[in-house]
């Protein structure tokens, strides 16, 4: 894995943009990384009053909404600049398709910082359906998703890692190593197959891998994967006082349909702490 040198945070016109920027700013400062704030949102006609939605004036209203959201995002960004937290940059994404444009930027970042969609307050964050999920799957880049509620002043002090032998888990773990090295506590929930391991002797496993990177994990080993893994992980995160959950993102995109695994859907819907995911 590479050290984190380039962070890309998605910003929009929602009320949560300042909280998301604060998390990204803290991570960038800790890892001496450059932070790029990328404004990307698409005002939708359904956000307009019904009387205007089908009229020519709707275009002007959409432009006005976009201007308001852009001003809110820039104000939050300027606060980051004024804090002197380190190198920061501003960028705006225009045109369609929005997801593809964001993904192309994501390919040149070490870590993405995204926001969990708030179904109760969509104003200001008009995005294509499943924006976070699509960016994770299409970019292949690790992303830290920040919940739509709460404050998170020290992400990565106490970390819960969800581990099973899979490509997705391996990518998420490797992406999280720079954070795990600085954590005070690291818990690993591991599901092991009942079949005998293929390698013996000094074979590598997740615990040895972490110790080789200077991380001393507390292992929680299980043989039978429960039916509700997502709920179990969120409950366990609360039990151990974790402020960050690390896990693989399971899913794929076929044609225009995005198909996610049940655990991924559950965590993205019900998360209460930041989650680092990688597909």
20 and 131 housed in the same domain: yes
pLDDT at 18 over 80: yes
What strands, in cross-sheet order, belong to the sheet with 88-92? Answer: 88-92, 34-39, 6-11, 111-115, 143-146, 275-278, 244-248, 158-164, 185-191, 218-222
79 and 198 housed in the same domain: no
162 and 140 housed in the same domain: no
pLDDT at 89 over 60: yes
pLDDT top residue among 215 and 223:
215
140 and 164 housed in the same domain: no
Q: How confident is the model at residue 165, as a pLDDT?
A: 84
pLDDT at 152 over 80: yes
Strand partners, 218: 187
Q: How confident is the model at residue 46, as a pLDDT?
A: 44
pLDDT band at 224 (very low <50, low <70, confident <90, very high): confident
pLDDT at 47 over 80: no
pLDDT at 137 over 80: yes
84 and 194 housed in the same domain: no
For residue 151, tell me if it sits in a domain: no
187 and 102 housed in the same domain: no
For residue 152, tell me if it sits in a domain: no
pLDDT digits (tens, 9 = 90+) for 23-46: 999 999 999 999 999 999 875 544
Which residue range is the domain that position 263 belongs to? 158-278
CATH number of the CATH domain containing 193:
3.40.50.620
Q: How confident is the model at residue 255, as a pLDDT?
A: 44
The last residue of a domain, from among 123, 146, 169? 146
pLDDT digits (tens, 9 = 90+) for 170-199: 999 999 999 999 999 999 999 876 666 677
**Number of folded domains that form the chain:** 2
pLDDT at 55 over 80: no
Decide: pTM greater than 0.85: yes
The last residue of a domain, from among 119, 146, 173? 146
For residue 244, tell me if it sits in a domain: yes
For residue 115, tell me if it sits in a domain: yes
The last residue of a domain, from among 114, 146, 178? 146
DSSP output for 33-97: -EEEEEE-----GGGS-HHHHTSTHHHHHHHHHHHHHHHHHHHHHHHHHHHT-S-EEEEE--SS-
Place of tokens 């080789």: 212
| Whole-number Å distance between alpha carbons of 129 and 92 | 20
Query: Which stretches does DSSP call E strand in 192-274?
Result: 218-222, 244-248, 251-254, 257-260
């Amino acid at each position: 894995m590479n050290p984190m040198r380039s962070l890309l945070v998605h910003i929009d016109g929602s009320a949560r943009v300042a909280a998301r920027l604060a998390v990204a700013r803290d991570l960038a400062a800790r890892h001496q990384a450059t932070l790029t704030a990328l404004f990307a949102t698409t005002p939708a006609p359904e956000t307009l009053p019904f009387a205007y939605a089908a009229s020519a004036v709707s275009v002007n209203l959409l432009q006005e909404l976009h201007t308001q959201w852009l001003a809110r995002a820039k104000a939050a960004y300027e606060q980051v600049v004024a804090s002197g937290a380190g190198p920061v940059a501003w960028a705006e994404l225009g045109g369609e398709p929005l997801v593809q444009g964001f993904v192309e930027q994501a390919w040149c970042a070490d870590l993405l910082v995204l926001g969990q969609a708030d179904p109760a307050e969509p104003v200001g964050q008009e995005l294509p359906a499943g924006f976070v999920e699509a960016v994770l799957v299409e970019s292949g880049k690790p992303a830290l998703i920040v919940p739509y509620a709460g404050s998170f002043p020290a992400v990565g002090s106490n970390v819960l890692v969800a581990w099973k032998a899979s490509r997705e888990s391996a990518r998420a773990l490797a992406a999280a190593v720079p954070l795990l090295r600085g954590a005070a506590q690291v818990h690993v929930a591991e599901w092991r197959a009942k079949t005998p391991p293929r390698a013996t002797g000094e074979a590598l496993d997740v615990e040895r891998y972490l110790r080789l990177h200077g991380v001393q994990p507390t292992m929680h080993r299980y043989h039978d994967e429960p039916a509700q893994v997502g709920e179990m992980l969120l409950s366990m995160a609360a039990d151990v006082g974790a402020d960050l959950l690390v896990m693989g993102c399971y899913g794929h995109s076929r044609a225009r349909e995005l198909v996610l695994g049940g655990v991924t859907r559950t965590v993205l819907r019900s998360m209460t702490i930041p989650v680092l995911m990688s597909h």
